[in-house]
Amino acid sequence: MRHQRTGKKLGRDAAHRKALYANLAGALIEHGRIRTTVTKAKAVRPLAEQMITLGRRGDLHARRQATAVLRSRDVVHKLFAEVAPRFKDRPGGYSRIVRIGPRAGDAAEMAYLELVDEEYVASQREERATAAPAVVDEPVEETDDDAAEEPVDEAEAEEPEADEDEADADEADEDDEPAAEVDPAEDEDK
């Protein structure tokens, strides 16, 4: 029986599960956002938030505890030097889960697990965007003078076009009518 045993097994033994959580939490700290299944995101979120809380403490003992869990000095350094200071005024809730729909291969429900701090996530996105710039058309903003003049011009321009379309439709109907008035008897005589 599993009384008082919380958490998902995820089809792994304890050592494999612990390694999975450490890897996912490390990737979240390193990249700011990861894509994984909803179940894994829910399972690793508390661990990642505990690591950020250790980073906020900032002492040697907290650093050693984080290293014991994350197993990467580079990730721990980034946690204590860059990530945790951004959350110094936030009492908790450092991450969010954003569902993104089913995975194509097996229809597993996928989600983004990302850090809440907009500055950190935005800076990571900017770094990716500068690496591969994309061309985006920006909408043209109208001034008050342009907005007041354009609807009048468009309305006047649209009305004649509508009349021409109706005239073309009427001419097409007239062309069809004489063809329908031909008697079948006359066709047989010719």
Residue 1 lies in a domain: no
Strands (E), the chain: 33-37, 95-102, 109-115
> In terms of domains, do 111 and 87 share one?
yes
Average confidence (pLDDT) over 98-102: 96
Q: Look at 7 and 171; give whichever has higher pLDDT.
A: 7
Pairing of strands 109-115, 33-37: antiparallel
Residue 110 lies in a domain: yes
> Which tens digit of pLDDT belongs to each residue from 116-140?
976 656 666 677 778 765 555 666 5
d(CA 80, CA 82): 6
> In terms of domains, do 107 and 63 share one?
yes
> Which tens digit of pLDDT belongs to each residue from 24-62?
999 999 999 999 999 999 999 999 999 999 999 999 999
Answer for the pair 114, 33: CB distance below 8 angstroms, yes or no: yes
Residue 188 lies in a domain: no
Tokens describing residue 90: 């936030």
Residue 185 lies in a domain: no
Residue 184 lies in a domain: no
pLDDT score of 66: 97
Question: Any idea which of 40-54, 66-80, 97-111, 144-158 has the lowest mean pLDDT?
Answer: 144-158
Instruction: Look up the domain containing 162 and give its range.
Output: 147-178
User: Any bridge partners for residue 28, and if so which?
Assistant: none
Tokens describing residue 26: 């490390």
CA angle 64, 68, 73 (to 5 degrees): 70
For position 87, which CATH number holds?
A: 3.90.1030.10
Q: Nearest CA to 47 among 12, 5, 79?
A: 79
> In terms of domains, do 33 and 125 share one?
yes
> In terms of domains, do 29 and 91 share one?
yes
Residue 114 lies in a domain: yes
Total tally of structural domains belonging to the chain: 2
CA separation (Å) from 50 to 8, 91, 94, 98, 173?
A: 18, 12, 10, 20, 76
Residue 189 lies in a domain: no
Residue 31 lies in a domain: yes
> In terms of domains, do 154 and 125 share one?
no
d(CA 95, CA 101): 19
- For the sheet with 109-115, list strands across it: 33-37, 109-115, 95-102
> In terms of domains, do 125 and 152 share one?
no
> In terms of domains, do 90 and 49 share one?
yes
pLDDT score of 173: 54
What single-letter amino acid sits at 46? P
> In terms of domains, do 33 and 75 share one?
yes
